[in-house]
Structure 1
Amino acid sequence: MTSGQEELLSRIATALERLAPAQTSATSWVAAPAYVWDGTGARTVERLDAPSLDLLRGIDLQKDMVVSNVARHAAGHAAHDMLLWGSRGMGKSALIRAAIRAAQSDAPDLIALVQVAPDALSGLAALFNELGREERRFIVYIDDLGFEDGDSTGPRQLRSWLEGGVEARPANVRIAVTSNRRAIVARHMSEQDDPINPRDAVDDRLALADRFGLSIGFHNCSQDDYLAIISGYAASLGLAFDEGDALEWSKRRGARSGRVAWHYVTELAGRAGRTL
């Protein structure tokens, strides 16, 4: 074969590649209640692990807003992107999962959860491209998100995804983010020392949080809420507990939260020789 013939065959092969249909995703986006996206592909989660909504206590207002918003999205109605921010261990991620499972209880095919690790954000455009071809609705969930100082790309991409940039999320997708900080990006006391306008730096960082239709705060629970959370879990599992012992557990941990309450219930189950 002459060099001219080889060149011609190469051109033909290149042209055929351009004409060939794009490779379809290997993921079946209607097969599972939840998925995990690693930046380049997805794996299915056959069972969505979430507590019952009635066991999420001390966050009634937050629960109502999240459950209602997820239900509206599942039904194809107008719904918000959500930022759940605030104290650690107060049920932010558990509430997202529980709201999805509640929406799936009557019609599991309507909606699914897709969890994205913070280090896989660069692959969100590819994920949106896949999800946008589906009729099913999705909550794309980013847990414990926080941008460090000097990271301008991440916040800029998130603003674009939320507010109609060229790679914005499709209509059948809503984004849910949990973060320990309302502003998502790091903030320091030095921001208050700006000699020109002490509010400019803070306002710029809060502007990202303002892109979410729902910005829902979670705060440290009271002693009564902490005991109510334990009571709910213990009753559902048939476990007895002593309030003084429960309070002593929280003192040793240095905090009261839903997570600390669940750790105490785990301790109760262990003492009783039970599995969870």
Structure 2
Amino acid sequence: MTGRRDLWERIASALDRLAPPVAAPVDWLSHCAYVWDGGSARPIVALETVGLAKLRGIDEQKSAILANLKRLAAGAAAHDMLLWGSRGMGKSALIRAAIDELASGDDGGVALVQITSGSLPRIADLLVELGGQERAFLLYLDDLGFDSGAAQDNLALRSLLDGGVMARPANVRLAVTSNRRAIVARDWDESNARHERDERDNALALADRFGLTLGFHPCDQETYLEILRAYTDPLDIEVDEEEALRWTIARGSRSGRSAYQYACELAGRAGLKL
């Protein structure tokens, strides 16, 4: 009997070693942001942000997003948001900065939950979990663009926004950033056949489901320099405007991102942190 018991104990021990560890429950009330991969969530201790004050040239977008998130934090009706437009003009930065701004409010703010690529089909599991929390959440999909044939993700997101059997919790809303308002594949060709036109129609149907749609457009020279000085003035760094404009020409882009990158270059030359 002893030998048989030892055998079963060895088998049980081996199975314990092979079995994956049970994931610890997520504390959804203690952090300002999380990353969800379709099966588990990882808390973000400190949210990377440049701060709202340094985001220039997008004042209307800032006001609209802050007002919408304040409604969500207060338990009032709030919109899903689509932020679309030019690369580097602050779409993602504005979402992070707004969440960080609200974190110090009396209502506890809104927790950001970034959804990783490929996890949309399992989003219902996350909604069930978040719906039971005494907190508001903003699900965040960054740089969304469906490649040709990725109908599953498209349908999952459309169902989440509107028309799904499962009702979405009132404390959960969605923010999506995309370089195109229609959220179509980046290699879209208008001369493609009927199948491609159907995909475009699906993408447009998805974009129409957002209650708040905000465009981010290329900045002019004056705005670019204003954004740049928002970074350099607090450091007492002098800006050579001609060199600053040559920087954008070399990169083929005049945007908030290129302004930040040039400010980083100037701060590095001066031995300063940005």
TM-score grouping bracket, smaller chain normalisation: 0.7 to 0.9
CA–CA separation in structure 2 for the residues paired with 1:202 and 1:39: 26
Amino acid at match of 1:58: G
Q: Does the 8 Å contact 1:233/1:265 carry over to 2?
A: yes
Number of aligned positions between the proteins? 250
Distance 2:129 2:268 in 1: 44
* Structural mapping, 1:224-235, within 5 Å: 224-235=222-233
Question: Alpha-carbon deviation of 1:236?
Answer: 2.5
Amino acid at match of 1:150: G
Change (3 A) 1:58 1:185: same
Shift of residue 101, structure 1, vs aligned partner: 1.2
Q: Which amino acid counterpart does residue 205 of structure 2 have in structure 1?
A: A
Gaps of 5+ in 2: 1-21
Q: Would you say 1:124 and 2:123 are equivalent positions?
A: yes
Contact 1:162–1:168, Cα closer than 8 Å, also in 2: no
More moved, 52-61 vs 165-174: 165-174
Could you say which residue in structure 1 is the equivalent of 2:265? 267
Letter in 2 for 1:85: W
Partner of 1:218: 216
Question: Are the aligned partners of 2:52 and 2:94 in contact in 1 as well (CA < 8 Å)?
Answer: yes
Q: Which residue is equivalent to 2:89?
A: 90
State the match for 1:107 in structure 2.
Answer: 106
Contact 1:30 / 1:109 at 8 angstroms: preserved in 2? no
**Alignment partner, residue 188 of structure 1:** 189
Q: How many angstroms apart in 1 are the aligned matches of 2:106 and 2:118?
A: 32
RMSD: 2.1
**Preserved CA contact (<8 Å) 1:160 1:168:** no
Please state if 1:171 is matched with 2:170: yes
Change (3 A) 1:260 1:217: same
**CA gap 1:59/1:188 in 2 versus in 1, 3 angstroms:** same
SS in 2 for 1:217: strand
1:63 CA displacement: 1.3
Percent identity over the alignment is: 55
Equivalent residues of 2:114, 2:140 under 8 A apart: yes
2-side partners of 1:163 and 1:76: how far apart?
A: 20
Quote the residue 1:207 is aligned against: 205
CA distance in 2, matches of 1:252, 1:168: 49
Aligned to 1:9: none
TM-score of the superposition, structure 2-length normalised? 0.85
Question: TM-score, length-normalised on structure 1?
Answer: 0.85
- Between stretches 40-49 and 162-171, larger displacement belongs to 162-171
- TM-aligned CA distance change 1:230 to 1:252, over 3 Å: same
Q: CA deviation at 1:168?
A: 4.6
Q: Mean alpha-carbon deviation: is it higher for 106-115 or for 79-88?
A: 106-115
Q: How many Å separate the matches in 1 of 2:120 and 2:236?
A: 42
Moved more, 247-256 or 101-110: 101-110
Unaligned runs of 5+ in 1: 1-22
Give secondary structure in 1 for the equivalent of 2:191: helix
Which residue of 2 is the match for residue 147 of structure 1? 146
Q: Is the 8 A contact 2:154 2:203 kept in 1?
A: no
For residues 98-157 of structure 1, the C-alpha deviation after alignment (integer angstroms, 9 at most, x for no partner) is 111111122373421111112222331211111011010000101011111112111111
Equivalent-residue separation in structure 1 for 2:107 and 2:49 (angstroms) = 15
AA partner of residue 225 (structure 2)? L
Equivalence for 1:26: 25
